[in-house]
Amino acid sequence: MAGTPDLVSAFADLCAARPGYAKAEAYFDGDVDEIYASDKVARLLAKSNLDELDEINFARIPVTAITDRLHITSITTGDDDADEDIKALVKRNQLDEELPGLHTRACSQGDAYLMVWPTLDPDGNVANVDMLVNSAATVRVIYDEENPLRKKLAIKSWTNGSGKDQQIRADLYYPHRSDEDPARIERWVWQGRHRGKQDKWQPYTEDGQDAVLPNPWGEIPFFHYRTGRPYGRPEHYAAYGAQSIINKLVVSHAATIDFQSLPQRYGLIDPTVDQSGMQGADFDADSPYDEGADPESPGNPSQLRNDPGELWLLQGLKGVGQFEAANSDTYLKPFDRYVKAMAQVTSTPFSEFDSTGDAISGKARVEARASQTARVQARQRSLGATHEDAFEFALRLLGYDDPDVTVRWQPADYRDDTEGWATTSAKIDAGVPRERALIEAGCPPELVEAWMRDLDDDAELARRADLLLKIGNAVQALGTGVQLGAIEATDVTKILDSMLGAATTLGSTEANR
């Protein structure tokens, strides 16, 4: 029996996408094979084990610069019971650890999936819900050609065994469309290696179940996290070229380091010199005592001494010299330029690549991070919407009717410097609504809302705004102290946690303590 057109097409799409995901993962992990100019160069580097040199990987920075600013602060519905079940789902599925990894996978490969599927009790009722991260190398959602916003089907494929016992499994998940086209799961198997020109798909029934299983929940249980539509692109895609050249520069420079420390030397023989008769030798090849002799030992018969003022007489040579190794600038100057090029082509602030340069703050910092901040906000919208869909489906499986989940994030760019809070105060003084000014400063909307509820008068708001301004000054001073070694970074963190807690939750007496 041949596979259905949906199976053949979906499996082909999945296989065609895998090399791109593997390449993205290799560049993110710093595990890319170097491109050599010739086989001879490759053999020369392999002879010195330089072909196995660990890479100096800059290509992961455009990804981590985004994911380091993707932090979920809350997942809520406004219903206490549903919120408690969400907390239970997070704990059961270890989502505090899994979701950051999901964000990294989505940003580093362009696509990632979360499978939401119920576990049943002996009576067939939903007992709990599994929420499991899946790789885009094993799962692919296929979208409807007429309506690209609608999922047509999803395929999950994996391999069991190896050699003659290899078995390729593929499951197709369909949503409910009509009574004639119900929601279902089609299960298929291919024995042996896959050959594109063959069609050896067979229905899978080896576990005693039917090859086609009903999907009573009517939805495709895979939720697609992506950086673009219909499929994403890795955040570091534009960094591939620069990273490949950086790898070549590093390996080539490493090959010259030994020659810079111990240059190759040469001696020019004078063919006109009569070298007949006894010649003082640096060693006697017939003497067993010369084996392993210390060249600096007084008993060494060498006529050459490595001492100040010594005169070396080299018989038969009319000149000596050494071959100069390649200048380090040949590699280091282009190295810096390609790192800068990587920052430019990926729209990543150069400060993410080099934190030792001149520090910038205030307006210059905001402008430098504007493009990156916009991308972080775009990822928060896209990933957040998918999180909401996934948790709403999980709650429906648990019996809730039409749950409305809201995912909140830490601000994409929080203004914690003096100039930033001074600007916020100036906006409020100029008539900008207080809520708007604080949100624009990066304060979480739910925190601003809580502030507004707690404020009885403008004096309290002014006190808190003034306190935040002082915190901005303190942050700058403490940062300088860390750089000078006057205070440990861990101590600064404890101080700021205490200060921020006072600023957001306590009254004036406690905050000024």
Given this model, what pLDDT does residue 274 score?
66
Q: Which whole-number Å values give the CA distances from 447 to 412, 417, 421, 432, 474, in the listed order?
A: 15, 19, 16, 18, 22
Q: For 429-447, give one letter per residue: b (16+ CB within 10 A) or e.
A: eeeeebeebbbebbbbeeb
Nearest to 147 by CA among 180, 177, 186: 177
The whole-number pLDDT of residue 509 equals 46
Distance CA 232, CA 210 (A): 35
> What is the rounded distance in angstroms from the CA atom of residue 137 to the CA atom of residue 124?
32
Distance between CA atoms of residues 199 and 217, nearest Å: 31
For residue 487, give both structure tokens: 């205070």
Q: Whose CA is closest to 379, among 409, 350, 352, 406?
A: 409
pLDDT of 348: 92
State which amino acid sits at residue 207.
Answer: D
Q: Strand, helix or coil at 329?
A: helix
Q: What is the DSSP string of 156-184?
A: EEEEES-GGG-EEEEEEEE----SSS--E
Q: What is the DSSP letter of 150?
A: S
Q: What is the pLDDT of residue 507?
A: 47
Q: How far is CA 292 from CA 281, 285, 289, 301, 304, in A?
A: 16, 12, 8, 13, 17
**Rounded CA separation 177/181 (Å):** 6
pLDDT (0 to 100) of residue 15: 96
pLDDT at 185: 97
Among residues 135, 115, 148, 157, the alpha carbon closest in space to that of 8 is found at 157
Pairing of strands 222-226, 111-120: antiparallel
Residue identified by tokens 């000149």 is 319
Distance CA 309, CA 297 (A): 18
The tens digit of pLDDT for each residue in 295-337 reads 556 555 566 666 666 667 677 778 888 878 778 787 888 899 9
As a whole number of angstroms, the distance between CA 172 and CA 185 comes to 6
Q: Give residue limits of the domains in the chain.
A: 1-261+328-413, 417-513
User: pLDDT digit string (tens) for 353-387?
Assistant: 887 655 555 566 667 778 898 999 999 999 999 99
Q: Supply 345's token pair.
A: 């082509």
- The pLDDT value given to residue 19: 96
The helix (H) or strand (E) run that includes residue 342 is helix 329-345
Other beta carbons within 10 angstroms of residue 77's beta carbon come to 19
Q: What is the pTM of this model?
A: 0.75
Q: How far, in Å, CA of 151 to CA of 174, rounded?
A: 9
Q: How far apart are CA 502 and CA 513, in angstroms?
A: 9
For 41, residues 6+ apart whose C-beta sits below 8 A from its C-beta are none
Burial of 188 by CB count in 10 Å (0-12 exposed, 13-18 middle, 19+ buried)? Answer: buried
Kindly list the averaged pLDDT for each block of 10 residues, start to end, along the chain of length 513. Answer: 88 96 95 74 66 80 95 94 97 97 98 97 93 98 96 96 88 94 95 76 94 94 97 97 89 76 79 62 54 56 65 75 79 89 92 71 67 92 98 97 94 69 78 78 74 63 66 70 70 66 50 45
Q: How far is CA 4 from CA 148, 192, 460, 485, in A?
A: 22, 19, 68, 67
